[in-house]
Structure 1
């Protein structure tokens, strides 16, 4: 579930560079079609002018970076090269955060250079054996910073295998995934990150820095994975439209009518919520691929119609969907909607399919086609993997008959695969086609990924220290934040150290999420009762985020309803991010209210949540045969007539916890993995009793 803007997160929380060794490029085999020299040091340019293009960056005393032009070239011909000396400050025991770890680099100004027509970076390098050197350093490209934003795109790559002999390094630009816009580059940087540099003092010579075009950019993060069997199946039936009835036949059910009259819903609060839960379950149970027991990601309907000809069936699924399908089946059983035997039958079928899917190091790819079971993604996502693990944990605690099969899948996965020991943070994921761990970290604490961190710690796959290396707030120097952090000081307790702080909006004080959406705040509470296990931190924060969602929507925006979170775009079938700006470090905008966020609020403000749900049904044509549709524009009244598996499952699980005495949360907390991790989360306090400026 990749719903956080990765570029912004990477810049805000530090990057880990891809560490795929650059190699010599045999130019006879891969002809260079085009070359743009950034710095070759052999021209007749005056030394002062040439070095004026470069600047040394040393942001923490007593570290230093210096450079000079030296005689001697990487080629046989006479010439010069750039010598770069670095000295990093000694390590200390301060909390490792962007404002304390320092930055040490040599930066070449590029002044808006257009590099869009190139596919590789090329340069030559060797270390100085007399001074010493680390066998790797980082190279970066920086995008141009939008005026006043304080934020720019950064792509980075860790060059390894440096020796005391000249080596040609060729880096595919595709591996520098932080840059999306290659048309305006502001700088090329040689960086010496203290966490990655085992040798803290040394020198290198660098020469012939250039951008080149080979016409063969290599694999990229956006490379499609075509479901060839699905395409052949569709073609044999006459194409996508002709295959749609066959897809419909594979489903377990279909809605009987597009809309339900809200006046027919019960007046009693418990019966009202139970009806919503039951209708939602019927949809989740219907919109699955019967032969494989996999939930479909989404089904889109035409306005006022459930006719097949007006619909789009998304016959693919994600590992988060599968994990939440496990949680949904458990919820339906706890609410009495299905018998134990039926629940076991449903989950056994899904487990059988899981056991047959293609995996990598025990982890599942992000997407699969539900008709042919082909993977349709090269990416293995940390947070999505964690939600599948959470579903398996709850299933094995609920149904001992399935415990062996669930446990076997869980134990095949080691979350250390995603862990960056240098930053002590979890990576966004892994690109199998590139053999590349993403340089993006889940570094902000109050997001949905925290549940994955807890699972990884509870399994013993990553150290407990990781929990406290995620940022509660960001440094004040990150001026693009929606609000400045207050009381951002070092805290310590139970042998752990971390940086705290909070935002303040009106009378509310809270730790921000990334986008200010309710799913970031409350999605982990679907399985972890944060109000019980972390009352002064996560539990407190969930309540405040809910309060602000309600107050901001009703009073600041003038909406009649509230609950903003990533969802379908009303009036279409696209997807967008919605939130409350002041709740997030960057903050999404408004424009859509989604029932899954409105229902999540029953975990923190049940009375207000129920009133809001009734208002949604009263004002908008948003309730169908399978429960709430995905979103509404509260101003125009446009509705997104989609059922999304994840969002519907969040509705059901939230209602099951509310109506069935925290049933799912109790199962999750009973699992040995979480039992081992729970002592870690109970002692932190986000906000002091008295406000601090």
Structure 2
């Protein structure tokens, strides 16, 4: 199940129980912070938060996991997913199959003047396909697949071979494109695998695989160096046996995670947060607002704020280091960080600052990555079983790593 040299690591019984607790507690967010009528999931636990379509995608996947693990009955999981699909079909604001980033949780109307979002629609559709694979032979599978098939992926290219970040009715396409390695690999897979609205194969070739070395290890890196960029696609896609020419993105994420750990260690004299092998630089709420924290290679903006999802979301890549960090977070900082829905988002020891809220996409990442780690890639197997994903692998000539 594990990636490389990490495979020798064995969990202690008490650590296994802790991971199970974190996973189940983190899932509870989706029960409490999803609207009971529409099924749309709030972006965060903060008062007045809108719903987010990425959050809703993670919710669909997490509910499927909950049904498998017995946290919800099959009937309750089915009903919750049915309710959400009904909203996505008939109420939620969208254009050409793409959904607005933020929605009013009660009505499904566009919220916060947000954009029709390419990446957030992709994360929603990843959850939709997990639901389809989890309830095969049912109306949910039929309806979920139809939602995915309605997304007009080529439209978001705006007559280029790169995906735009989004579109707004008053200004058209945003002037930003997914042109380098990032979390948008999930967008690539879904668009290239589509049978109804496929994009040209050139789209896979067009984005740049920028490489740089950190401590002698070459990494295809994201612009910010934030760990979530190396995690989000991997919550769904099993990259272990796929090679993009000479690059294996599973191994690449492991290298980026190790670099994140080493970067924190290097700066531990400057920041108390990074001392005693603490690490985890990723986009999160910090003392001065939401920031795209990261490590080298990349812009590597950091101020001593540690994102809790970073170490948990990396457990499939660096299980030993991740488990050590998770145990530290729980044993040393549990009073400040651990609550009803598991770990809150982030902290900064240097500023004596502790986040007091939960972010849905972090909760979803934690549930899915722990499911992959604890249950032999269970989410991966469901996602990779979709014929559209097999089509993406074939069209992009992703070679087996075996």
Q: Aligning the two structures, in what range does the TM-score lie when normalised by the shorter sequence?
A: 0.7 to 0.9
Please point out which of 510, 513, 523 is paired with 2:232. 523
Which range moved further: 560-569 or 358-367?
Answer: 358-367
- Please report how far the alpha carbon of residue 285 of structure 1 lies from its aligned counterpart in structure 2 after TM superposition: 1.4
Q: What corresponds to 1:470 in structure 2?
A: 207
Aligned ranges 1:521-560 → 2 under 5 Å? 521-534=230-243, 536-558=247-269, 559-560=274-275
Structure with more helix by fraction: 2
> Structure 1: 5+ residue runs without aligned partners?
1-265, 301-312, 474-501, 686-693
Question: SS of the counterpart of 2:240?
Answer: helix
CA distance in structure 2 between the aligned counterparts of 1:314 and 1:649, rounded to whole angstroms: 20
CA offsets per residue over residues 89-136 of structure 1, 9 Å max, x none? xxxxxxxxxxxxxxxxxxxxxxxxxxxxxxxxxxxxxxxxxxxxxxxx
Q: What corresponds to 2:57 in structure 1?
A: 323
CA offsets per residue over residues 587-636 of structure 1, 9 Å max, x none? 33343111111111112011211110111123322111210001011434
CA distance in structure 2 between the aligned counterparts of 1:509 and 1:315, rounded to whole angstroms: 40
Residues 319, 385 of structure 1: 8 Å contact kept: yes
Please point out which of 392, 404, 428 is paired with 2:165. 428
- Please report how far the alpha carbon of residue 468 of structure 1 lies from its aligned counterpart in structure 2 after TM superposition: 1.4
CA offsets per residue over residues 472-493 of structure 1, 9 Å max, x none? 12xxxxxxxxxxxxxxxxxxxx
- Aligned CA RMSD, in angstroms, stands at 2.0
TM-score calculated relative to the size of structure 1:
0.52
Q: What corresponds to 1:289 in structure 2?
A: 35
TM-score calculated relative to the size of structure 2:
0.88
> Structure 2: 5+ residue runs without aligned partners?
1-11
CA offsets per residue over residues 647-685 of structure 1, 9 Å max, x none? 111111111111122111111111111010113263499
- Please report how far the alpha carbon of residue 267 of structure 1 lies from its aligned counterpart in structure 2 after TM superposition: 6.0
Residues 334, 656 of structure 1: 8 Å contact kept: no
Residues 656, 662 of structure 1: 8 Å contact kept: yes
- Please report how far the alpha carbon of residue 465 of structure 1 lies from its aligned counterpart in structure 2 after TM superposition: 1.8
Q: What corresponds to 2:3 in structure 1?
A: none
Structure with larger Rg = 1
Q: Which has the higher contact order (CA 8 A, sep 6+)?
A: 2
Question: SS of the counterpart of 1:610?
Answer: helix
Aligned ranges 1:600-619 → 2 under 5 Å? 600-619=313-332
CA distance in structure 2 between the aligned counterparts of 1:388 and 1:607, rounded to whole angstroms: 31
CA distance in structure 2 between the aligned counterparts of 1:454 and 1:503, rounded to whole angstroms: 24
- Does residue 1:269 correspond to 2:15, yes or no? yes
- Does residue 1:514 correspond to 2:250, yes or no? no
Q: What corresponds to 2:102 in structure 1?
A: 367
- Does residue 1:583 correspond to 2:297, yes or no? yes
CA distance in structure 2 between the aligned counterparts of 1:382 and 1:421, rounded to whole angstroms: 15
Question: SS of the counterpart of 1:341?
Answer: helix
Residues 260, 280 of structure 2: 8 Å contact kept: yes
Residues 419, 426 of structure 1: 8 Å contact kept: yes
Question: SS of the counterpart of 1:268?
Answer: helix
- Please report how far the alpha carbon of residue 414 of structure 1 lies from its aligned counterpart in structure 2 after TM superposition: 1.1
CA distance in structure 2 between the aligned counterparts of 1:504 and 1:361, rounded to whole angstroms: 40
CA distance in structure 1 between the aligned counterparts of 2:48 and 2:265, rounded to whole angstroms: 34
Question: SS of the counterpart of 1:294?
Answer: coil
- Structure 1 residues 327, 590: closer, same or farther in 2, change over 3 A? farther
Aligned ranges 1:646-657 → 2 under 5 Å? 646-657=361-372
Residues 209, 220 of structure 2: 8 Å contact kept: yes
Residues 242, 400 of structure 2: 8 Å contact kept: no
- Does residue 1:598 correspond to 2:311, yes or no? yes
Q: What corresponds to 1:568 in structure 2?
A: 285
Structure with more strand by fraction: 1
How many matched pairs?
373
- Structure 1 residues 336, 453: closer, same or farther in 2, change over 3 A? same
Residues 326, 395 of structure 1: 8 Å contact kept: yes
- Structure 1 residues 622, 267: closer, same or farther in 2, change over 3 A? farther
Q: What corresponds to 2:69 in structure 1?
A: 335
Would you identify which runs of 4 or more consecutive aligned residues in structure 1 move more than 4 Å? none
- Structure 1 residues 625, 267: closer, same or farther in 2, change over 3 A? farther
Aligned ranges 1:359-398 → 2 under 5 Å? 359-376=94-111, 377-398=113-134
CA distance in structure 2 between the aligned counterparts of 1:681 and 1:527, rounded to whole angstroms: 19
Residues 579, 590 of structure 1: 8 Å contact kept: no
Q: What corresponds to 2:93 in structure 1?
A: 358
